[in-house]
Amino acid sequence: MTSINADKSVGQLVGERIARASVFEAYGIDFCCGGQQSLSAACSEKGIDLDEVLSKLAVTDAEKPQDDATDYSAMALDQLADHIVSTHHAYLGRELPRLTEMAGKVTRAHGEKDSRLSTVETTLQALSDELTSHMMKEERILFPAIRELAQTEGLPQMPCGTLSGPIDVMEHEHDSAGNALEQLRNLTDNHTPPDWACNTFRALLAGIHELELDLHQHIHKENNILFPRALELEQQRQ
């Protein structure tokens, strides 16, 4: 089986093989916002057996030696930015309105049975509002600057001077989104429907689970691949 370096960051390991994300998801190891932490440190912090995780990762590597997913770390910066918009931003644009509407219906129908539902609704709405604003800033300001950096020999003209300022803001907002996802997970017992849940309630929880998985991939591609490479290229040009 493949030898995996536990001193590498979790983000690096997922960047090498995207299929490894499923292992980290199973163990609750953050590979997006907290992706800069080494695998050994992440396991130690959570009290997880490192050898067990390494074994699961090796099995995943052996089962999927050539991941179906694109090697995003090898994509040109402008292509990666375009991919994020067309895939993850488009997904959020579809799913956030659908899930917030569904959360309202479930709260109105079953709020008396579970008082947490109203908090699920308000948390999801706040996350939707924040992510909508977040994506607009990326699409109108940060990503065009990254495309310019990738497609020319010079430096993009940024109102704040460099890419580091907008990227810091985006990463802070990623942390905020991660906190909201964790809150939603806690409020819904890890997205587990109660026995009395109707089909709409079950569909809502399945949708929130899928939203979390997609956002983890989305944030990983930005925090651990796109942003560091853009900052490095900008530094080389200065």
Look up the domain containing 175 and give its range: 72-237
More confident residue, 136 or 60: 136
**pLDDT tens string 49-68:** 999 999 988 887 877 655 45
Mean pLDDT of 110-139: 96
Q: What is the pLDDT of residue 171?
A: 96
Confidence of residue 179 (pLDDT cuts 50, 70, 90): very high
45 and 136 in a single domain? The answer is no
Residue 130 tokens read as 């924040």
How many CB atoms neighbour CB 76 within 10 A? 12
Tally the domains of the chain. 2
Instruction: Verify that 47 and 82 share a domain, yes or no.
Output: no
28: left (phi over 0), alpha (psi -120 to 50) or beta: left
Phi and psi (nearest 5°) for 65?
Answer: -65, -30
Neighbours of 226 (CB within 10 A): 25
In which region does residue 69 sit, left (phi positive, over 0), alpha (psi from -120 to 50) or beta (all else)? beta
Same domain, 76 and 184: yes
Q: What is the pTM of this model?
A: 0.77
If pLDDT is split at 50, 70 and 90, which confidence band does 100 have? very high
Calculate the average pLDDT of the chain.
Answer: 89
Same domain, 164 and 212: yes
**Is the model's pLDDT at 103 over the cut of 50?**
yes
Please count the other Cβ atoms lying within 10 Å of the Cβ belonging to residue 169.
15
pLDDT value of residue 26: 84
pLDDT at residue 77 is higher than 80: yes
**Are residues 89 and 157 both part of a single domain?**
yes
Average pLDDT of the segment spanning 63-88: 82
Within-domain flag for 3 = no
Q: Is residue 183 assigned to a domain?
A: yes
**pLDDT at position 30:** 85
Mean pLDDT of 187-197: 93
Is residue 51 located within the same domain as residue 112?
no
In this structure, the answer to whether residues 18 and 86 fall within a common structural domain is no
> How much is the pLDDT for 1?
41
Of 42, 63, 84, which one is at a domain's C-terminal end? 63
